[in-house]
Amino acid sequence: MNSFEVEALNRRLAGAPPDVILQEALRLHPEGLRLACSLGLEDMALLHLIRRAELPIGAFVLDTGRLHPETYDLLALAQDQYAPLQVHFPEATAVEAYVNTEGLDAFRRSLALRKACCAIRKVEPLKRALQGASGWITGLRRDQSPTRTGLGAFELDWAHGGILKVNPLIDWSLEDTWAYLKAQGVPVNPLHHQGYPSIGCAPCTRAIAPGEDPRAGRWWWESPEHKECGLHRVHGP
């Protein structure tokens, strides 16, 4: 597909429910679609939807090595309930070099060091996870952060060779997501009930206060426009 075809697709399916968006993605690519499951609210909803409908979409998790204990517990539960679920780890030599050179929590010292840590623990494993994929599914929603307001249900991911990137929940609100999870009895990370709307690595995630932006608990020492880890950057051809 090219950019004009993607724009037309987004116009045609504007406001469509997640199952319709997923079916359209499968029409375009019957094989090779993969769900990137962060084990957050949105991705657990998608994992449940995909497995319940028995859609031919693979799923994987990126284990950065620094997740919360609660996240590892949910991963074990998800592997039992929604298998198969592939787990990808960062390259050990790259992690060792970063820690030995800069320090274990060097990401707090500068934006460049934080992005370098994310590149090692998330971006490079994602690249390996998407090798051979025709497209990938994400749980992005427009109201999650200022950096995501302009996203469509379908995008071209130039960072991974121009493959299709599909955001089935793009029009959902946080309330929509919770309603689906509760109605379907989908397991969620207990940290979500402790003030964590967005959960990433343990050192980079905190609970938020009432009224704070949902992404305020991610890399809270940085300005809002920088709060992406590199997995969802938009690249031109």
Q: What is the dihedral of CA 156, 233, 67, 111, to 10 degrees?
A: 170
CB 84 within 8 A of CB 59: yes
Could you list the active site residues?
229
Output the CA–CA distances (angstroms, integers) from residue 21 to 18, 62, 132, 171, 174, in the order listed. 5, 24, 22, 11, 19
Residue 63 β-bridge partners:
none
Element spanning 62, H or E? strand 58-62
State how far the Cα of 199 lies from the Cα of 220, in Å rounded to an integer: 12
